[in-house]
């Protein structure tokens, strides 16, 4: 059963309410803050949303004298955690405490204050012990209940009972918690942008900012607001105000959408699961799109790449402020899919961005297309950047004309377009959505990986694709009665018979005869398109960057399991079978472009089979460990401490991502895990404290 095939390669090679008010006039009556303590949400997350009802979370506070513990929980609108809650979720709490010890946040025999006693980690016996409150009311960490039980991003709602106020950058941010993470949404990372000017880091201070609702999307698809430069944070840990202890790696997500659509707040790319399961801080951002983000006019100061500039501004805000939300500014990994992957590629070679991040993950980045008799295609500009003049030829004069800005001078035309309605501007028939060589953010035609010369960020990277990424970028000739493979390939790829015949003669793309010539020729074409527009440019980038040393380490993957499929016959993606109401992902289907995002965030709307869950657990571990250590292999000791048995099984079955010279290495399928729950049961301590026997077994 396959979840993902990996080839390894490296070298030691809407608008939120933003209140500019004094703290006394805050829109929230929340009393909770991190002034006196750090706050950690403990939740043993197996990523199975249907199983959330069988788990509880708790909030861990810093040590206080025992007599003050109840009041400390009361400040959160919570109470001390009861013994029966721990006993009912024994495995969950054992693994959470065991991980705290592994991470250095607790000792191997750490005691925690609970209701009417303490619970202690007994790492020597691999169990928990329960004890009465020691004499003298010692100072110990506190375990509180966590009553915010909404487990999904679409069900989480801020209330006065679950809100928290965190100071950062001279402002106060009101966020809230759900079952799995602390959540801050709609944070303005830039001052309100001026059209066709680079954004600047948010300069407001002394404000109380309501970060409990997502910000407006940038103008796209008949909607949006130009004041749209917001980011969102999900974190398992909020340090004590001013502290920089035990900060977490940061996962900085850049959405896709062809540089003309997308948003940083979609449910499918919510960071709550990832933050909870992997113990990292997740940042997702909006950035300007389409003509508002990428318009460039030769001979003027409109030089394009404003959307990329926004990404760099968001990175700078993150560097300046993320410690207050538990993130380590010196451990930021940028990640994106499709145009987000293209953004990662741009940032890897952008002088203003280099040094602001320590790793990069580019998923389904496009490029290539200059072959098969073609001078380029849709994918080309994502990895090979036109000049401003070339970009203007593609989308410049047409935009002025379509907007009715036909004045005689360029200055007047620009002034006309600058006053044009933003939503109508991005809805014009022609839009600007190309990264260009502006000389500031981008100053080379392509990312330089042939040599290590400082022009490319020397950081660990992962590049990869879905198995059939190109299916989404081939033409399926609906209504055409394709008579043979040759005709089908010509139509589907837009090439001549000579090049189509060369594809057939190569033998590299075998024809599978199902009797449907249209579908069968498309099956050939989508494999050609996948190589042509995705695989070749990304494998070449990784190979060259590894051999030259341009990248510190370099890895490549191909995702064999995706969330849904591209189905040109409108059958619904993976075939629906008995027992598979959402389709059987083990049967053949076209893996559509961008449909592996769920694995990046360890979040799927439905689990079609057990392998969906296990592959989420395994792949999320790979990505998070690149963010943590610059390589994707989680240490066995870490996995054992967390109880992540399925990941242990998956790593053993698939093999580690070894440093090798070339595109070879283990290519294995994810095997079944050794447990159905994902966690191994742990025993209760053999000798429980005498004075708590009554609580455990009803008296004796």
Residue 83 belongs to some domain of the structure? yes
Tokens of 172: 């106060």
Average pLDDT value over all residues in the chain: 88
What CA–CA distance (Å, rounded) separates 521 from 504?
A: 10
Name the CA radius of gyration of the chain, rounded. Answer: 27
pLDDT value at 387 more than 50: yes
Q: Does some domain include residue 90? A: yes
Retrieve residue 156's tokens: 């989480």
478 pLDDT tier (thresholds 50, 70, 90): confident
- Which burial class, exposed, middle or buried, applies to 118 when counting CB atoms under 10 A from its CB (0-12, 13-18, 19+)? buried
Give the pair of three-digit tokens for residue 456. 């490319």
Residue 683: the pLDDT is 59
Q: Would you say residue 38 lies in a domain?
A: yes
pLDDT score at 5: 37
Question: So what's the pLDDT on residue 686?
Answer: 47
Geometric angle at alpha carbon 593, from 588 and 599, rounded to 5°: 85
Does residue 2 carry a pLDDT above 90?
no
Q: Which stretch of DSSP H or E encloses residue 339?
A: helix 339-348
**Residue that wins the pLDDT comparison between 26 and 297:** 297
Domain annotation covers residue 115: yes
Give the bridge partners for 285, in sequence order. 231, 254
Q: pLDDT (tens digit, 9 = 90+) per residue, 63-105?
A: 999 999 999 999 999 999 999 999 999 999 999 999 999 999 9
Residue 228 lies in a domain: no
At residue 660, the pLDDT reads 40
Predicted confidence at residue 273, as pLDDT, reads 96
Cα–Cα distance for residue pair 454/572, rounded to 1 Å: 47
Please report whether residue 375 resides in a domain. no
Classify each residue of 604-628 as buried b or exposed e, where b means 16 or more C-beta atoms within 10 Å of its C-beta.
beebbbebbbbbbbbbbbbbbbbbb
Nearest to residue 89, comparing CAs of 72, 65, 114?
114
Does residue 10 register a pLDDT over 50? Answer: no
Contacts of 447 (CB under 8 A, 6+ apart): 345, 346, 348, 349, 383, 456, 541
Q: How far apart are CA 530 and CA 107, in angstroms?
A: 51
In this prediction, residue 680 carries a pLDDT of: 56
CATH number of the domain residue 136 falls in: 3.10.100
pTM: 0.91
358 located within any domain: no
Task: Locate 22 and state its tokens.
Answer: 């004094």
What is the total count of domains within the chain? 1
Give the model's pLDDT for residue 690.
Answer: 28
Mean pLDDT, residues 358-380: 94
Percent of the chain with pLDDT over 90: 77
Tokens encoding 458? 């020397």
Task: State the pLDDT at residue 104.
Answer: 94
pLDDT in tens, 145-162: 999 999 888 888 999 999
Q: Which two tokens mark 376? A: 């380029």
Of residues 574 and 317, which shows the higher confidence score? 317
Query: What is d(CA 322, CA 420) in angstroms, rounded to the nearest whole number?
Result: 36
| DSSP output for 166-191 | EEETTEEEEEEE-SS-EEEEEEE-BS
The whole-number average pLDDT for the span 122-132 is 88
E strands in 11-162: 18-19, 39-42, 58-65, 111-114, 117-122, 127-131, 139-145
Over residues 252-277, the pLDDT tens digits come to 999 999 999 999 999 989 999 999 99
Residue 677: predicted pLDDT: 46
Q: Is residue 17 pLDDT above 90, yes or no? A: no
**Model confidence at 684: pLDDT above 60:** no
Residue 354, φ and ψ in degrees, nearest 5: -60, 130
Q: What integer is the mean pLDDT of 353-358?
A: 98
- What range defines the domain where residue 62 resides? 31-147+683-697
In this structure, is residue 122 part of a structural domain? Answer: yes
């Amino acid at each position: 059963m396959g979840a993902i095939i990996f080839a390894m390669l490296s070298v030691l090679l809407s608008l939120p309410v933003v209140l500019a008010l004094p703290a006394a006039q805050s829109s929230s009556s929340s009393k909770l803050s991190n002034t006196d303590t750090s706050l950690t949400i403990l939740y043993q997350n197996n990523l199975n949303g249907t199983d959330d009802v069988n788990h509880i979370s708790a909030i861990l506070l810093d040590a206080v004298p025992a007599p003050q513990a109840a009041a400390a929980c009361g400040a959160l609108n919570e109470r001390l955690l009861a013994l029966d809650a721990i006993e009912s979720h024994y495995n969950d709490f054992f693994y959470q405490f065991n991980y705290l010890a592994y991470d250095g946040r607790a000792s191997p025999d750490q005691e925690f204050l609970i209701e009417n006693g303490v619970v202690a980690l007994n790492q020597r016996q691999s169990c928990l012990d329960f004890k009465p409150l020691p004499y003298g009311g010692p100072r110990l960490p506190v375990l509180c209940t966590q009553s915010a039980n909404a487990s999904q991003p679409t069900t989480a709602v801020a209330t006065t009972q679950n809100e928290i106020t965190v100071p950062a950058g001279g402002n106060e941010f009101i966020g809230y918690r759900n079952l799995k993470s602390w959540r801050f949404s709609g944070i303005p990372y830039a001052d309100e942008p001026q059209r066709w000017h680079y954004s600047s880091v948010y300069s407001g201070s002394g404000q109380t900012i309501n970060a409990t609702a997502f910000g407006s999307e940038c103008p796209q698809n008949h909607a949006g607001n130009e004041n749209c430069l917001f980011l969102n944070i999900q974190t398992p840990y909020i340090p004590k105000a001013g502290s920089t202890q035990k900060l977490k790696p940061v996962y900085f997500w850049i959405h896709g959408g062809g540089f003309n659509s997308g948003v940083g707040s979609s449910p499918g790319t919510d960071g709550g699961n990832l933050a909870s399961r992997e113990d990292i801080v997740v940042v997702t951002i909006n950035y300007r799109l389409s003509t508002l983000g990428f318009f460039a006019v030769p001979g003027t100061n409109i030089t394009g790449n404003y959307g990329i500039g926004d990404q760099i501004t968001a990175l700078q805000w993150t560097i300046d402020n993320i410690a207050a939300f538990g993130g380590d500014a010196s451990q930021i990994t940028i990640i994106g899919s499709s145009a987000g992957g293209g953004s990662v590629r741009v940032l890897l070679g952008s002088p203003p961005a280099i040094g602001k991040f320590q790793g990069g993950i580019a998923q389904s980045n496009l490029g290539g297309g200059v072959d098969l008799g073609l001078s380029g295609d849709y994918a080309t500009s994502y990895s090979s950047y036109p000049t401003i003049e070339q970009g203007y030829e593609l989308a410049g004069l047409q935009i002025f004309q379509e907007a009715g800005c036909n004045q005689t001078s360029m200055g007047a035309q620009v002034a006309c377009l600058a006053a044009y309605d933003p939503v109508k501007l991005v809805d014009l028939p022609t839009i600007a959505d190309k990264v260009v060589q502006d000389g500031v953010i981008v100053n080379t035609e392509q990312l330089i990986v042939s040599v290590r010369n400082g022009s490319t960020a020397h950081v660990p990277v992962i590049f990869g694709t879905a198995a059939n990424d190109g299916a989404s970028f081939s033409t399926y000739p609906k209504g055409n009665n394709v008579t043979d493979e040759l005709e089908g390939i010509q139509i589907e790829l837009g090439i001549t018979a000579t090049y189509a015949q060369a594809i057939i003669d190569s033998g590299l793309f075998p024809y599978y005869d199902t009797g449907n010539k249209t579908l069968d020729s498309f099956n050939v074409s989508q494999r050609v398109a996948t190589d042509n527009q995705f695989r070749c440019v990304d494998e070449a980038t990784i190979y060259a960057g590894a051999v030259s040393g341009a990248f510190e380490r370099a890895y490549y993957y191909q995702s064999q399991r995706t969330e849904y499929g591209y189905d040109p016959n409108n059958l619904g993606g993976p075939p629906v079978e008995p027992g598979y109401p959402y389709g059987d992902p083990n049967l053949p289907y076209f893996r559509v472009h961008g449909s592996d995002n769920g694995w990046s965030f360890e979040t799927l709307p439905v689990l079609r089979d057990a392998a969906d869950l296990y592959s989420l657990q395994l792949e999320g571990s790979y990505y998070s460990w690149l963010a943590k250590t610059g390589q994707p292999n989680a240490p066995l000791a870490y996995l054992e401490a967390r109880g992540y048995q399925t990941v242990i099984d998956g790593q053993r079955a698939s093999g580690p991502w070894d440093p090798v010279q070339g595109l070879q290495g283990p290519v294995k399928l994810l095997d079944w895990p050794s447990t159905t729950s994902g966690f191994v049961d742990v025993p209760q301590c053999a000798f429980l404290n005498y004075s708590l026997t009554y609580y455990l077994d009803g008296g004796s």
